[in-house]
Structure 1
């Protein structure tokens, strides 16, 4: 059973109406699994490199630099600048045409385009919806399996997968939903049309793959020795794919799969724990790689600058706010997102009462945020697509 099937199974009892008493369903996990979405985010073009690195690579050769004297203060790396926190946000419901219910499942880095689905619940319609600047510009029904789009780029092309049986890749391109080649789940698409994703076989271990375009054959990621499986989470505009790879020692590490085929391991951050440090990637955002690190029982949220190789700890509660992309997502009664190092609370709508909210898109400048609400107790209340405009 894959993640989507598990999420659908958890949500199935909601079809019967309002349950007696409080729900026993882990709504956050169910919606996080059933409507998981992975987003493409741009990678900052920061080029400054600290002179205090212990080693640099020149022309493909590792060049060792002199170690600093014991009393010598190490220079601080030049890090990506943080986005300013908004001073205020307004929230609105996005138009959904004739659909009684709809949800957002992805957005492009500028916040111009959003993609979603009608009736985005177990056995729902899943017609493809596209919004541009908050206006509904496409409502496409696909004659075939239900298709859920997971990401859209800055020119309005989207990618996703069938959500029944073995996943098959699909693209929204030229105003139509089109089948892609191979099997698996496209996760993210950049403006050049390069698609990051993975396989989800019924028998074989999953691994990351990419498509150079929506109509290209998938290319599997070459796995380093000792790796048993892996997953893709995000892609940058230069084609670098953020992945997680699992090893035979049962540890998980973060890797960058560069456009030229190079596989770059990201060393885990230093943590005061007596077990191997696992790294669970979440997304490229604001010029950083965001990731949870630690053990199954003890995790912290970090971000990593790919230029200086510098890890920065954010907090010990990785999933207290949302960072839409390929990492774990959930629902919050009071929706919050990470902007830089800060958790930023979003306004809610009074009519939704105790409903939960799931954020699915966060623009790089934090000016456009989008997601959906979901009832906390039953599925007979509609899911609505939401947009927050911030300044």
Structure 2
């Protein structure tokens, strides 16, 4: 499995080569870009369906953690969720009529969306959308660049690569600011706190754009850890060694998330990717990916931090691409359609053109808290990726 994921990583080198989300994204992008993935593909990983369940895991011994200050309410059980019946697709504008674009993130209101385009001249161009307009964001670096997340005030975060490796950046009101230290900025919450890594295997939080990074506490002896997303109250989720799902609480405590059960047994590994209002999404597998040369079964998982329930998600072919305040998940079903799982209902998102069952034609990337705005990408009639939104009701 490790060798397989290495062949699919079309981005600059990073500390790990067994990052499931990165590998799947790379595989899907490669297919959509018609680069011709040969042999086995992470985009064809078997998704297992099994009964939901969870195992309470005793937290490991920890070193003194950083305390994440908070000034926003803690997650709480949301009010009754609305019902979605259908969604209407439209293309997002791109600067300079660039031929290809995709969405990588959005804010909880759905008003701000970030992503990148692929200019005719080659390379990558970070962009941000707001109120129907698009702006090119000039991130320094000439290897690759991407904005990953944005909050309701329009503060976007991301990274670019230069000769020294990944560099974290923030963008707001036309100004690009390099964050202190190296690494990647991956998520930003309503209070402007940023979660990411230092490029050396340490999860960090920047209290604000102008603050130095603070390392998050990890169990003694941990060699590599990742922070992936940050909730409105400052709760951060990620993983240890790409094998143990992990959560850092606003009060400075941190612990392992419960391993889901697959066919009546605890999963061998899991990773946490996204969090919103106490809902966490990620993946699990029945065997470790390190040193594995076979096809590792990968399943979608959801944790509820308020109730402690961990469950396997039956309706998705891959791990969810995002989650909103109601716990709704967006992702790809087993027929390759982009869908919204709202609990009781499954709403299929229309394709821009032809459908492909492998799940590479249309990918939803972000969903608003009320579920009315979803953004992502869909191939046009010529097979070229276009940035799109779905308006749902």
Q: Distance in 2 between matches of 1:270 and 1:14?
A: 32
Q: Distance in 2 between matches of 1:27 and 1:330?
A: 19
Whether the 8 Å CA contact 2:339–2:349 is kept in 1: the answer is yes
Aligned to 1:383: 385
Shift of 1:123: 4.7
Q: Distance in 2 between matches of 1:140 and 1:155?
A: 16
Aligned to 2:227: 232
TM-score (norm 2): 0.70
Q: Where do residues 152-301 of structure 1 align in structure 2 (5 Å cutoff)?
A: 152-165=150-163, 166-201=165-200, 206-246=201-241, 252-273=243-264, 277-285=268-276, 287-296=278-287, 297-301=296-300
Alignment CA distance shift 1:316-1:155 (3 Å): closer
Q: Distance in 1 between matches of 2:350 and 2:243?
A: 36
Q: Distance in 1 between matches of 2:268 and 2:121?
A: 36
Alignment CA distance shift 1:382-1:3 (3 Å): closer
Whether the 8 Å CA contact 2:127–2:147 is kept in 1: the answer is no
Whether the 8 Å CA contact 1:10–1:25 is kept in 2: the answer is no
Whether the 8 Å CA contact 2:150–2:188 is kept in 1: the answer is yes
Once the two structures are superposed, residues 280-339 of structure 1 have per-residue CA deviations (whole angstroms, 9 ceiling, x without a partner) of 2132146411232342344443322212212234328551764379x9988985322433
Shift of 1:161: 0.5
Whether the 8 Å CA contact 1:83–1:340 is kept in 2: the answer is no
Aligned to 2:93: 95
Range with bigger deviation, 142-151 or 237-246: 142-151
Whether the 8 Å CA contact 2:269–2:284 is kept in 1: the answer is yes
Q: Distance in 2 between matches of 1:255 and 1:13?
A: 30
Shift of 1:164: 4.5
Whether the 8 Å CA contact 1:321–1:343 is kept in 2: the answer is no
Once the two structures are superposed, residues 53-109 of structure 1 have per-residue CA deviations (whole angstroms, 9 ceiling, x without a partner) of 9xxxxxxxxxxxxxxxxxxxxxxxx97667444111110011113132322221001
Within the candidate set 133, 136, 145, 2:133 is matched to 136
Question: SS of the residue aligned with 1:183?
Answer: coil
Q: Distance in 1 between matches of 2:207 and 2:330?
A: 26
Structure number with larger C-alpha Rg: 1
Extract unaligned runs of 5+ from structure 2.
Answer: 1-5, 14-22, 44-55, 57-75, 288-295
Extract unaligned runs of 5+ from structure 1.
Answer: 31-52, 54-77
Aligned to 2:69: none
- Asked if 1:335 corresponds to 2:333, the answer is no
Whether the 8 Å CA contact 2:282–2:319 is kept in 1: the answer is no
Once the two structures are superposed, residues 151-201 of structure 1 have per-residue CA deviations (whole angstroms, 9 ceiling, x without a partner) of 111111100001455101011123122211111111100111100111334
RMSD: 4.0
Question: SS of the residue aligned with 1:87?
Answer: coil
Runs (4+) off by over 6 Å: 6-15, 327-332
Alignment CA distance shift 1:234-1:304 (3 Å): same
Aligned to 1:348: 351
Alignment CA distance shift 1:111-1:161 (3 Å): same
Range with bigger deviation, 158-167 or 178-187: 158-167
TM-score (norm 1): 0.70
The alignment of Structure 1 onto Structure 2 pairs a total of residues equal to: 327
Q: Distance in 2 between matches of 1:275 and 1:304?
A: 14
